[in-house]
Amino acid sequence: MTDNTPDLLIRPAVEADLPAIVEMLADDPLGATRESPDDLTPYAQALKRLVDDPHQHVVVAVRAGRVVGTLQLTIVPGLSRKGSARSIIEGVRVHADERGSGLGTRFIDWAVERSRAEGCQIVQLTSDVTRTDAHRFYERLGFTASHVGFKLQL
């Protein structure tokens, strides 16, 4: 599924997009400590696994031939909520030059519509507690901070 408008294309990511994707993942204080743009090998291996999984959708936003955003949408079948599926939005990044352009809203709208098309009953995401601007952005789009998330580093 793609979102085609005269100025923007949202399409599945391909390996040639990885340099731009990893650059965006590393372009903030948190990503700078955990991403490694010098070696794309693990990212290429991960993208292959994701592309091979029909429940995973890694997409990029392209404007004027340039990758300017990325996100991952995961469809999770479940038993709760009467056996309904849910989706998880992860790894949302918008290039620094594009922030404030409306691209983030279009990206999340795309993910929500794709989730509906996949039969999901709920869309969820997590955001690091330090990303207060992102929290305001998601709340403006109708998301509520309804749960407390926990992580265990392995």
pLDDT at 128: 81
Name the β-bridge partners of 94.
Answer: 69
Token pair of 12 as six digits: 């599945």
Cβ–Cβ under 8 Å, residues 76 and 115:
no
Where do the structural domains in the chain lie, given as residue ranges?
A: 3-140
The pTM (predicted TM-score) of the whole model is: 0.88
Predicted confidence pLDDT, tens digits, the chain (154 residues): 455 566 889 999 999 999 999 999 998 777 777 888 889 999 999 999 999 999 999 999 999 999 999 999 999 999 998 999 999 999 999 998 988 888 889 999 999 999 999 999 999 998 888 888 888 988 898 989 888 888 888 9
Token pair of 111 as six digits: 């993910």
pLDDT at 68: 95
Residue type, 36: S
Q: Is the CATH number 3.40.630.30 carried by domain 3-140?
A: yes
pLDDT at 50: 97
The total of other beta-carbon atoms located within 10 Å of residue 149's CB is: 11
Cβ–Cβ under 8 Å, residues 94 and 69:
yes
Distance, CA of 12 to CA of 128 (rounded, Å): 25
Element (H, E) at 91: strand 85-94
